[in-house]
Amino acid sequence: MKKYVIILFLILTLLLRSYFVIKDYKNIPKEEYKIVKGIITNIKKNNGITVVDIKSDKKYRVTIYDDVNYNLGDKVKVDSVFTIAYNNTVFNLFNYRKYLLSKNIKMVASNPKITLIKKNKNIFYKIKNEILRHINKYESSAYLKVFVMGDTSDIKEDLFNSYKNIGISHLFSISGMHVGLFLYFMNYIFKKFKHKNLIIFMFLLFMLFITNYTESFLRCFIFLFIKHINKRLDFKLSDVSILFITLILILIINPFLIYGLGIRFSIIITFYLILSKNLLKNKNYFEKLIVISIVCFLSSIPILASSFFKINILSFLFNLIFVPLVSIIIFPLGIITFVFPFLDSFYMLFINLLEFLSVQLDKVKILSFVISKPSILICFLYYLSLFLAIKINKKYIILFLIILIFNLNSRFFIMNPEIVYLDVGQGDSSVIILPKGRTILIDTGGNLFSNKKIVENKTIPYLNSKGINKIDFLILTHGDSDHMKEAKDLVNKINVGKVIFNQDNYNELEKNLIKVLKEKDIRYYKGCDELKLGKHKLYFLNTKTYDNENDNSNVIYFNFNNYKFLFMADAGKIKEKDIQEKYDLRNIHFLKVAHHGSNTSSSKEFIDQINPKYSIISVGKNNRYNHPNKSVLKTLSNSKIYRTDVNGSISIKLKRNKYKIKLCSP
């Protein structure tokens, strides 16, 4: 009875705490000029950019476009406009605002005026700064930061992606495995001390500070602390109850930690490992390792599917290689190397082996699959079937596999068309998803003035989140960089069936793409009249050849379920007039506005004739061209206007006699 009273009290405390935390967050203005004085709690540097976390009345993240020299614990004054961090503007993708909230960071500022008030004098920050300076002297510093400080930011992006792809990235967060080794050595060192447990918990508390309160380490610390109290006071709490109380306490500390990927992995995998204790009885080390690897992999599938949209079925086998390598050699040797620097070169031999194996195994794509983001119901069914398989009968694993197969092939169960106008900044890119997952991409976007990886970071992840691993048709409206700069990257990173260019002469961008298409044996076409896709047809409104790239744009019209769509690309007023004369277009439901809302397009005569119900403008926030033009907005004022800089990506889902518009607001 006692334990239920404790749990009920904690739940009520959590609900009350969550109410006030969320209420406080909702009262924060979206943008506010202010002067913040606070302590630097975290510093990260990369390519001349310094990112600093500052603790004051709230926690703030400040990005400085310079390699400034501050230390942890320094008190600074920041003079800037602070804003709430942005949401994802493409559906299903990484949400920076929620990520920062999981770190308890409420507002951000870029390139502020920052002034040092007082150098650090706090002994704990001094120790942390010295540890950082000490680690930075090592060739293996990136990995020592991982295993000593829980910081993966210095591991090269392509390497860490390979760890993610083969399913071993969990080995690079300080979790139960690492804490277990810590405890083993500390119990051995302090076994004759009267207050051994107090010393160990004080050390773990200090390590929690050193690792910046990493979610997985926080879970381990609270879990171990409650387990110790449970044993001392004889509460008779089961490990599952202790884990549940741990989760409640973590969320009381910061309710927004529910957004943290680390805490979800840590809690869910730990839960299923606790349930699997009976499966580990009377088994040797290797047999236990196999069972643990399988349970970890199966319990992580819904999280991997929800966050990365890819799974590698071989990852549980890869863990049989990497878990012993990291837990028995690399992690312990890293701690020893931290104490004895002369071992650094020897340690690097194992790091190089780790990296080599990961990169090579990442190339094995035989059982690597794109998997759609599962619904809450599908996630529930995953975990229910896994629970039944572990606790009741192993045969329930068949149910788990049926759900997995369905999830892997969910694109074939798409019943209704969906048109998505992607937010790609100052550029154009739209996706048409037809029943059974047939996909058309109109333009790729691309910024002439930056090398942002739109296709890699937005387009492909979005398609993967829908379970789509192939683009049947890539339609390039014309050869301007803001419409097709990323086309070459696209065909190198995802399977593309056919490519359709516009009807004028190829420019340099198009010629470079054609070289890649020939290498990959991808068929391409110059100009097109219509494109038939099952029951659906796309019509290309060709008029004549013009003396400029914009007017030579592929203008595309289609009618899905009696809803009319028109994509104008960058067509100007001259082409609009020619389209008026050649085609009878009226009462368009969804107009993709030409040329990002420039006044070179969207003449009043043309807009009055087509009479759009909705006008969608693809435009970058605070763009240098001041698009969309005010006169164009006035011309379109009889329609409902959506803009990617204001509304993020715009989705239109069609059914027989209705449609649903969904916005991915920043």
Task: Provide the 3-class DSSP secondary structure of residue 638.
Answer: coil
Please name the helix (run of DSSP H) or strand (run of DSSP E) that holds residue 663, with its range, or none: strand 659-664
282: left (phi over 0), alpha (psi -120 to 50) or beta: left
Distance of alpha carbon 229 from alpha carbon 352, whole angstroms: 42
Burial bucket for residue 18 (CB in 10 Å: 0-12, 13-18, 19+): middle
Read out DSSP for 407-450? HHTGGGG--S-EEEE---SSS--EEEE-GGG-EEEE-----TT-
Cβ atoms of residues 347 and 334 within 8 Å: yes
Q: What are phi and psi of 57, to 5 degrees?
A: -65, -30
Total Cβ atoms within 10 A of residue 515: 10
Chain center to CA of 446: 20
Regions of the chain short of the pLDDT cut 50: none
When the candidates are 3.30.390.30, 3.65.10.10, 3.60.15.10, 3.40.50.720, the CATH number that belongs to 412-664 is 3.60.15.10
Given this model, what pLDDT does residue 498 score? 96
Distance of alpha carbon 14 from alpha carbon 550, whole angstroms: 57
First-last CA distance in the chain: 47
Cβ atoms of residues 52 and 43 within 8 Å: yes
- Boundaries of every domain in the chain: 30-120, 125-373, 381-408, 412-664
pTM: 0.92
Check residue 373 and report its DSSP letter: P
Given this model, what pLDDT does residue 327 score? 87
- Looking up tokens 């691309």 gives 446
Across the beta sheet with 470-475, the strand order is 523-526, 495-501, 470-475, 439-442, 430-433, 418-421, 649-654, 659-664
Q: What are phi and psi of 571, to 5 degrees?
A: -60, 135
* Amino acid in position 515: K
The dihedral over CA atoms of 245, 249, 255, 257, expressed in degrees to the nearest 10, equals: -90
Given this model, what pLDDT does residue 286 score? 86
Cβ atoms of residues 465 and 309 within 8 Å: yes
Cβ atoms of residues 330 and 354 within 8 Å: yes
> Buried (b) or exposed (e) across 603-630, using 16+ Cβ within 10 A?
beebbebbebebbbbbbbeeeeeebbbe
Please name the helix (run of DSSP H) or strand (run of DSSP E) that holds residue 37, with its range, or none: strand 31-46
Check residue 175 and report its DSSP letter: -
Q: Is the peptide bond before 435 cis (omega within 30 degrees of 0)?
A: no
The CATH fold assigned to 30-120 is: OB fold (Dihydrolipoamide Acetyltransferase, E2P) (2.40.50)
Distance of alpha carbon 494 from alpha carbon 469, whole angstroms: 7
Please name the helix (run of DSSP H) or strand (run of DSSP E) that holds residue 532, with its range, or none: strand 530-533
CA angle centred on 661, ends 657 and 666, rounded to 5°: 175
Task: Provide the 3-class DSSP secondary structure of residue 212.
Answer: coil
Q: Which token pair is 642? A: 């959506």
- Looking up tokens 């119900």 gives 613
Q: Across the chain, which distance is largest between two alpha carbons, in Å? A: 95
